[in-house]
Structure 1
Amino acid sequence: MRRGEQLRSLRHKNFRWFFLGETINTAGSSMSGIALSFAVLHIDNSPTALGWVVAAWTVPMVAFMLIGGAIADRFPRALVLRGCNLLEGVTQAASAFLVLSGTAHIWQLILLQFVSGTAVAISYPAFHGMVPVLLPEPDRKSAYLLLSQAQSALSIFGPAVAGILVAASSPGWALAIDAGTYVAAAFFLTLLKLPGRRVATTTPHILADFRQGWSFSRALGWVIPVACCSLVFNALISGALNVLGPVIAKGTVGSTGWGYARAAQAVGLFVFAFVLARITLRRPLLACQVGFVTTAVPMFVLAVWAHTIPLSVAFFVSGCGSAVINLAWSMTVQEKVPEHMLSRVNAIDGFFSFVAMPVGQLLVGPAAHFLTPRQVELGAAALCVLTFLVGITRAPLRHLRLGEQAADAVQSSG
């Protein structure tokens, strides 16, 4: 895929508006995490208080994800996304006002984050079902790559901008900017001109939609195995890299070296998208497992060679793996899942991907106390490799190929 072909998805007006809105939205979201953390610590300089605020977002996001997928498949996804963006814009605007006015309390931020997490539980599966609605099949690969590159590029610069705003003024301004980006994203979604969507469902209510989606996912044979592998990998990543990684970095490379290393991960995701544009993934679910196992590389380096340059290289490799995962999964779902089931299947994958993250975060501390941080990193790396080996032995993951539907259609027409 040449550069011109990689951008051909932007020829479609609907996708241009969607891409512009989501890019602006991602720019704001890339700043809000740091801003919210410092806002909480300014009110109550306690890890416990910050943990409550973060959990207030995570818990509803996971708890309502499966129902969110059913909602996104029952109603027009652009409408669902627009409503969720407006709701999140209101919650972030309220948070910004409270922080800037100096009247914020922890319980208020907990309540607002609970509302925001609930909105994400609905918007996440809706977002992941949009590209097949907006674009014909030949242009979808370039769309997935563009969205991934925009996200990775902004994840490099967004936190740095947030840090400057927090240091120079108040975290409330970063939250205010995030609120504005949600409203902007909602506005651009109003510009989409989509045909009326006939929802292919005969179920009487949302819970029946969810049961139907779960039965369909099980019947496919590959959704649940992939989701279970994702569950293990994400639990290990959230504990070994996101929690224990900074602990090891504090005594080795410092916060600056750790920042460089994590930025290298985003660079890897951004750069490898250009490589993927020239590659055809025939066995995408095997590619997903390869992408996941690359996360063992920074775990191993943290344990045996915790210096800035090798860590940066290791995270760069992990970023390349993330690019593979994003594209391989998106291409698989858009080809193998009918449009009216897209959000529910993505919600099931999202639920499994997120639900074990708090488990990894909670268990890694006691494990590091019982052993040593470096031994825990080596153990996590070994479990990543073991999960990879188990995953590639699963027949549905080995045998699924892209392009089979097209081939079958050619044979039947002949």
Structure 2
Amino acid sequence: MSSRLSPLATPAFRWFFLGEVVNRAGSSMAGVALAFAVLDISDSPGALGLVVAAWTVPMVAFMLLGGAIADRLPRAVVLRGCNLLQGAVQAATAALVLADVAEIWHLVVLQLVAGTVFAVSYPAFHGMVPILLPVGERKPAYLLVSQSESAVGIAGPALSGLLVATAGPGWALAADAATYVVAAAFLALVRLPPGDRSRARPSVIGDFVAGWSFARSLGWVIPVASASLVFNALMSGALGVLGPTIADDTIGSEGWGLARSGQAVGVFVAAFFLARVTLRVPLRTCVLGFGLSAVPMLVLGTWVDTWLLAAAFVVAGAGLSLIDLAWNLTVQEKVPEAMLSRIMSIDGFFSFVAMPVGQLAIGPLAVAIGAGRTQLVCAVLMVLVVAVAATRPTITRVRLTGSPDAPA
């Protein structure tokens, strides 16, 4: 039986893992820093929503093609190039903020580039573990990556909130830029044999069409991703945009950063329990995990207290850990290696396509009915979607067997 650390004995996974941990350390600071950099320029949830949506729109628009690209090329090479581009974008953002010349349109343009790069790196990243490790090592690998990301994420948002309150958001953004470069260096050490691409189509579009047909034949990819569409729209608006705005008027950037760290704590702690649990109905687990994200919305809509909100994010983090493990184990068992990135890109597209709607709509809705009531409405909608999706046969009938059964 594999131990929690046994995947690190494989050199290729070890370098990939180190690169991801370094990358996540910077990114855990960047979200808080960018939000308050925007609020320093314009104290408006609409402005923040515009900047966040500028990242999301190209990410969604190019996600499907990004998956086809990641399946055609060596995924480690794709990730390395994406990290270098992201580092350049974040360095430019940090320079503008530190020089106190940043305007909303500057941040919008830079986030457009960052979102486009992410559309390729996301499916490439999620196709790595199954080609780095044998079947028996994959569950501990997923949990190890999840725990390590959450461990650095515990301190990251809190440190970012402190930096924002003292030195300003530019320094946190600069640190994130540096971590992208370090991550690219680690990925340069990953050596993998080329995968079987004998079935590849002559063009990227042809590969995408083949991936879409395979996803439809599986039967469960699109229903789960469609449920994720609603969940992500609600979370991106309620927690990504309206959350910092409410915090800015109540607990401040330090309190918000500390509370968001609770999510990483939830992911970290839940992984210990999940290592001892055998998932039999994984996709229903995904749906239930999303429902736990309604807890922070309830707190933000009623009584905003730093420690209460942190506890709510601990619960939400446990849900994210459930989602991550259940979905990854399902895909690695049911999908062949040559299709991994395309399936992940289709899931990503459906999961994220409504995020810009949530990010742009949350501001006007909060103005119309109030920020607190908007949070409560989002929480109720989350629970209703969970109740419907968790009972759908296409979601509940998928079972894990413990061994790959994906068609070639």
TM-score under structure 2 normalisation? Answer: 0.90
2:172 counterpart of 1:174: yes
Cα drift, residue 53 of structure 1 = 3.5
1:246 shift after superposition: 4.6
Pair 1:300–1:139, CA change in 2 (3 A): same
Question: For residue 389 of structure 2, what is the aligned residue in structure 1?
Answer: 391
- How far apart, in 2, do the equivalents of 1:44 and 1:51 lie? 11
1:343 equivalent in alignment to 2:341: yes
Percent identity reads: 61
User: Would the alpha carbon gap of residues 258 and 174 (structure 1) be closer, same or farther in structure 2, given more than 3 Å must change?
Assistant: closer
Residues 368 and 29 from structure 1, CA distance in 2 versus in 1: closer, same or farther, beyond 3 angstroms? closer
Aligned twin of 1:127: 125
Q: Quick check: 2:49–2:360 contact (8 Å CA) kept in 1?
A: no
In the other structure, the counterpart of 2:152 is 154
User: Aligned residue for 2:355?
Assistant: 357
Post-superposition Cα deviations, 1:120-170, rounded to whole Å, max 9, x if no partner, equal: 110010000000011111111111111111222222212333344445545
Question: Do 1:75 and 1:199's aligned partners in 2 also have CA atoms closer than 8 Å?
Answer: no
Judging changes above 3 Å, is the alpha-carbon distance between structure 1 residues 259 and 12 closer, same or farther for their aligned structure 2 residues? same
Q: 1:328 to 1:186 in 2, by over 3 A?
A: same
Change (3 A) 1:299 1:18: same
Q: Which AA in structure 2 matches 1:225? A: P
Checking the alignment, whether the CA contact within 8 Å between 2:71 and 2:338 is kept in structure 1 is yes
1:293 corresponds to which of 287, 291, 294: 291
What corresponds to 2:376 in structure 1?
Answer: 378
| 1:279 Cα offset (Å) | 0.6
- Aligned mates of 1:107, 1:12 — CA distance in 2: 45
Paired residues of 1:264 and 1:316 also in contact (CA < 8 A): yes
CA contact (8 A) 1:200 1:340 kept: no
Aligned to 1:8: 6
Is the 2:71–2:340 Cα contact (8 Å) retained in structure 1?
yes
User: What pairs up with 1:226-241 in 2 under 5 angstroms?
Assistant: 226-241=224-239
Q: Provide the residue aligned with 1:311 in structure 2.
A: 309
Post-superposition offset of 1:336? 0.6
Matches within 5 A, 1:139-218: 139-169=137-167, 171-218=169-216
The residue number in structure 1 matching 2:259 is 261
Task: Give the corresponding residue for 1:62.
Answer: 60
Contact 2:333 2:404 in 1 (8 A): no
In the alignment, is residue 26 of structure 1 matched against residue 24 of structure 2? yes
Q: Is the 8 A contact 2:332 2:404 kept in 1?
A: no
User: Structure 1 residues 198-207 or 256-265, which shifts more?
Assistant: 256-265
Of residues 59-68 and 377-386 in structure 1, the stretch that sits farther from structure 2 once superposed is 377-386
Q: What's the CA shift string for 1:365-414, capped at 9, x where partnerless?
A: 444444454444333223222211211222121111111656999xxxxx
Quote the Cα distance in structure 2 between the aligned partners of 1:365 and 1:106: 16
Name the SS of the counterpart of 2:3 in structure 1. helix
The residue aligned with 1:333 is 331
Please identify, of 197-206 and 99-108, the stretch whose mean Cα deviation from structure 2 is larger: 99-108
Gap runs ≥5 in structure 1: 410-414
Amino acid at match of 1:60: P
Of residues 75, 78, 81, the one that matches 1:77 is: 75
Question: Which is worse superposed, 346-355 or 63-72?
Answer: 346-355
Contact 2:159 2:257 (8 Å CA) reproduced = no
**Closer/same/farther in 2, CA of residues 40 and 25 from structure 1, 3 Å limit:** same
CA distance in 2, matches of 1:367, 1:90: 35
Distance in 2 of aligned mates of 1:253 and 1:122: 36
Indicate conservation of the 8 Å contact 2:19/2:182, yes or no: yes
CA, structure 1 residues 395+188, in 2 after alignment: closer, same or farther (shift >3 Å)? Answer: same
CA 1:382–1:168: 2 relative to 1, 3 Å:
closer
Aligned in 2, Cα 1:174/1:313: closer, same or farther, shift over 3 Å? closer
Q: Distance in 2 between matches of 1:215 and 1:400?
A: 19
Counterpart pick for 2:222 among 221, 224, 237? 224
- After TM superposition, list the pairs within 5 Å mapping 1:235-254 onto structure 2: 235-246=233-244
Task: Check whether the contact 1:156–1:263 (CA below 8 A) recurs between aligned residues.
Answer: yes
For the residues of structure 2 that align with 1:197 and 1:81, how far apart are their CA atoms? Answer: 16
**Whole-Å Cα distance in 2 between the matches of residues 343 and 304 of structure 1?**
41
Structure 2 distance, partners of 1:49, 1:302, is 20
**Partner Cα distance (2:384, 2:120) in 1:** 33
Structure 1 residue 238: Cα displacement: 2.1
Shift of 1:44: 6.2
- Based on CA coordinates, which of the two structures has the bigger radius of gyration? 1
The 1:57/1:368 distance shift into structure 2, 3 A limit, reads closer
Q: How many angstroms apart in 2 are the aligned matches of 1:257 and 1:317?
A: 18
